[in-house]
Amino acid sequence: MSETHQTLLDLLAVEPLEVDLFRGSGQGGETSTRIFGGQVIGQALAAAYGTVPDRLCHSLHAYFIRPGDPEIPVIYQVDRARDGGSFTTRRVVAIQHGKQILNMSASFHNPEDGWEHHHPMPDVEGPENIKDRTELRAEHVDKLPEKHREDFLRPRPIDVREIAPRDFLEPEPADDRNHLWFRMKEAAGCTPQMQHCLLAYASDMNLLGSSLRPHGLTWFKGEVMSASLDHAMWFHGIPQFQDWHLYTMDSPWAGGGRGFNRGAIYDRAGTLIASTAQEGLVRPIKPRT
């Protein structure tokens, strides 16, 4: 296992400090300037799982309150809101510098029999012949200012392959619907709880970008200020994230400096494993005069 992949697994294995109190590292993840939102969600879910030994999460709802500081740990305080006969509810508050950076509610459920249906997986190109994001970034790195190149090429733990990727710097307006394949082969052998945490981490990738696509925007052009505001996720099954999963996303609406985005995650067999929704800040940056 590479150092990068082990780092992610270590990031999501939060450290118990006291009853209902956990600590997670702020280092690593997708970015170096602030903590990646998916990292805080994954750690918060891991902290909640630290108090729920016998049930699996079926939904979580999180609000991002402040940017995370990667230079210090994150403290997670878990409130045992309810332990019911079928459902367990937890509230998790992530804290840095004495202030909340995220709060999240998560619900856990005993498996039950019931009626089943799901929308079919879109018919798209498989991942085998698609360039991964490391290759794509290497092809475009020379277009970036020197100060951004090292972070742009920094190794990342999730293998991501976008279907019909856009230009990093000069994208044309495109349909809000977009698809990518992702996996982490080193997830093989992880517990169902860790599989959920890994998928929660990865579910924040590219989702907010759906609301930029119709407007030909990208984070690299300095025209938009963006940040995730909230994130919801529903688990319909247990992922096997060592295998390819298709993340299909769209953005039905944007306005008022915000963009709304939805996602569906399928395994390679076409089974719907999870659904996501997220609203984010997409505020125009006014040019200096």
**Catalytic residue set:** 204, 228, 278
| Residue 137 one-letter amino acid | R
- Sorted by sequence, the CB contacts under 8 Å of residue 23 that are 6+ apart come out as 14, 15, 17, 73, 74, 75, 76
User: 118-143 burial string, b = 16+ CB within 10 Å, else e?
Assistant: eeebeeeeebeebeebeebbeeeeee
State the DSSP code for 128. Answer: T
C-alpha distances in Å from residue 129, one per residue of 29, 162, 181, 269: 26, 11, 11, 18
> What is the C-alpha radius of gyration for the chain, rounded to an integer number of angstroms?
19
Query: Could you please report the per-residue DSSP string of 51-77?
Result: T-SS-EEEEEEEEE-S---TTS-EEEE
Distance CA 247, CA 180 (A): 5
